[in-house]
Chains A and B, each alone.
Chain A
C-alpha cells in the first residue's frame, strides 16, 4: 500500500506566531504593572481578570456547547465559599482557590444531571433557579455567616501593598491559564467535537460525537473556571457576601461581554471584557443609566454585529489570534485513483 506522505496539515499560520509574540509581550507588560502604576490601578484590574475568566467560561458553555446558562454565579459563589471554609480550616487562601474550582466542578456534576433534562429557555431559567437554591442553602449555614456573609482569615497579616500586588499577579496568572486552557481545549479532539456541536448538533451526532458527554465536560470545566473566579473575588475583597457573590448580574456581565466581543470565538471574551471594563471605569458614576446603556449596546451589537466585534473583524481580515483550526498546507501528489481503497471490509 502506498502511503500518501505528502499530505501536510498545519495547526497554525505565520501570522498567529506573530500574534503569540505580541500576546507574550502583553503578558510580560501586565506582570510588570505593579512596579510601574499606582496600586489603585492594579487593584481595579483584578476585576478585569475576573471578567475575562468568567466570560471565557460562558463562551465555552454557550458559544460552543449551546448551553445558555444564566446560573453560573452558582459556581462563583461556591468557589468563594470554599476559600472561606478552607481558610478556617487553616488552608492558605491562594491554595483554597483551587479547591474552590474542585468543589464547583464536583457540585456541577449532579447539577448537570438535573439541568440537562431541560432544553433551551427552560435550561436558562432552570440554571438561574438552581443558583438561587445554592444561595438560599448557603445563607442557612451560620458557620459561614448566614445572610451577612463572612470575612476571610489567613491573608490579613500581610502588608496591604504586598497583598494587593500578590492578588493582582494571582488573578493575572489564573486569567492567563484560563485563556490558554480554553485554547488547548479547543485545539484538542474535544475542541473539534465542540466546534461541530456549536455549528449543528444533530449533524455532530451523525458524525459520531457524543454531544451530551462533550457538553457535560464543558459544563464542568466552566463551573471550575467560575469557581476560580469566585475564589479570586474573595481573596481580593477579603470577605464574602452571599447576595453579591450569588448575584445574577454576574451572568448579565458574562453575556454582555461575550455578545459584544464575539460569541464562539476564543478572542471574543478578551475584547468584550476590555470594552466592558473600560465602560465600567468611565461610566460607573452614571448609576442606573449605565446599566441601561449596557442593555442598549448589547442589543445594538446583537443586531449589527451578530458575531461581535471580533467576529466582524476576523471575518473581514481572516485573522485569528488563537489558531484552533486545521489547515491543509499540502495535498497528496498521487492521483486519487491509484491509492488504496477506502473500504477494507
Chain B
C-alpha cells in the first residue's frame, strides 16, 4: 500500500472558546482530489494553515508520505511539496506577477536560472495571467489576485495543493475554465484538497467530499451522498450551500 500524501491524526485546535478542530483525522491519497465544505467560520482555512505550517495545532500529528512533519516550519513544508493558496490573496504587492511566481519557482520548487524563469512564466500563462506578467501584483483586481494565488501554488511544484476558495466571485465561464485547469493538473498526478462554497465546481472536480463542522468531519465520502446527507443539510440550512446547489 502506498503512503498517504497527507495524514492528519487527532488534530485539535481552538481559539479561546471557538473550537475549529477536535480530534480530527484526514488522509489524502497520492493524486486524490478532495473537496471540503462547511459553514462559515467552521475552521476550514485554519485547517489549511495547520497543514501548511503557518499555525500549530494544539495537539495531533501531521505526516506527509509517511514522514512526520508536525515540527517542520512553513517554508520547509512548501519545499517538500505542500502548496497552498490563501483565501484572501496575499501577493507580494510591490513585485510583478512574474517575480511573485519566480519566488515560488526558486525558493519553493528549488529551481535555478532559466528553469525557474520557465516555470514561473508557464504557471502564469496557464492560469491566464500571461498578458500581465510584468504588471505589479498590487495593481491587480481580486480575480487576477486569485489566479495569482493559484499560479503561485502551482509554481512551487507541489505534491499536494491546498486550494482555499479559488472559485468565489468568478462568473460561470470562469468557473468552467478553473475546473478544467484544476482537473488538468490533477490528472498530471497532483493531489488536491479544495475548500469551496461554489459546490458545483467541486462536484465536477472531486470524487470525495468532506464536510467540516464543529471541529469534526461530519461527513466524508461520495460528493452527492455527502450533499444529500441530512446532517450536512442541517448545518447548511439557509446558507450558501443550499442556494448554490439549487442554482447549479
Contacts and interface: CB of A to CB of B under 8 A. Distances in A.
B121 A208 contact: no
A307 to B, nearest CB: 10
26 contacts: A7-B114, A9-B98, A202-B90, A205-B75, A206-B54, A206-B74, A206-B86, A207-B78, A207-B152, A208-B75, A208-B79, A208-B104, A208-B107, A211-B75, A325-B95, A325-B96, A326-B96, A327-B96, A332-B121, A332-B125, A336-B122, A336-B130, A339-B122, A343-B188, A343-B189, A345-B189
A328 B134 contact: yes
A241 B73 CA distance: 45
Interface string A306-345: 0000000000000000000111100110001001011111
A343 B185 contact: yes
A328 B98 CA distance: 8
A193 B188 contact: no
Contact of B134 (A196, A327, A343): A327
Nearest to A195: B95
Interface string A192-213: 1101101110111111111100
Contact of B92 (A195, A205, A326): A195
A3 B98 CA distance: 19
Given A199-B92, A327-B134, A328-B134, A207 B121 contact: no
A71 B107 CA distance: 31
B41 interface: no
A203 B156 contact: no
B118 A4 contact: yes
A264 interface: yes
A9 B99 CA distance: 11
Interface string A1-17: 00110010100000000
A192 B90 contact: no
B52 interface: yes
B91 interface: yes
Nearest to A328: B133
B98 A206 contact: no
B107 A207 contact: yes
A189 interface: yes
B117 interface: yes
Q: For this complex, into which size category does the number of interface residues on chain B fall?
A: 35 or more
A328 to B, nearest CB: 5
Contact of A196 (B92, B98, B125, B188): B92
Nearest to B96: A325
A339 B121 CA distance: 12
A209 B107 contact: yes
B196 interface: no
B126 A342 contact: yes
Contacts of B107: 192-193, 207-209
Interface of B: 52-54, 73-75, 78-79, 84, 86, 90-96, 98-100, 102-104, 106-110, 114, 117-119, 121-123, 125-126, 130, 133-134, 152, 154, 156-157, 159, 185, 188-190
Interface residues of A, number: 36
A244 to B, nearest CB: 37
A311 to B, nearest CB: 10
Contact of A336 (B52, B108, B126, B152): B126
Given A200-B90, A200-B93, A342-B126, 18 more contacts: A4-B118, A4-B122, A9-B98, A192-B99, A195-B99, A196-B92, A196-B100, A199-B91, A200-B91, A203-B86, A208-B103, A209-B107, A328-B98, A331-B125, A342-B154, A342-B157, A342-B188, A345-B190
- What 4 A-B pairs come out closest when comparing CB atoms? A208-B108, A208-B107, A199-B92, A343-B188
Nearest to B82: A206
Contacts of B122: 4, 332, 336, 339, 342
Contacts of A3: 118
B104 to A, nearest CB: 5
Given A205-B54, A332-B121, A336-B125, A189 B106 contact: yes
Contacts of B98: 9, 326, 328
B123 A342 contact: yes
A345 B159 contact: yes
B90 A343 contact: no
A55 B114 CA distance: 34
Nearest to A339: B122
Contacts of A202: 54, 74, 90
A60 to B, nearest CB: 15
A342 B90 contact: no
A200 B78 contact: no
B102 A326 contact: yes
B202 to A, nearest CB: 21
A110 B96 CA distance: 36
Nearest to A307: B94
B73 A205 contact: yes
Interface in A110-145: none
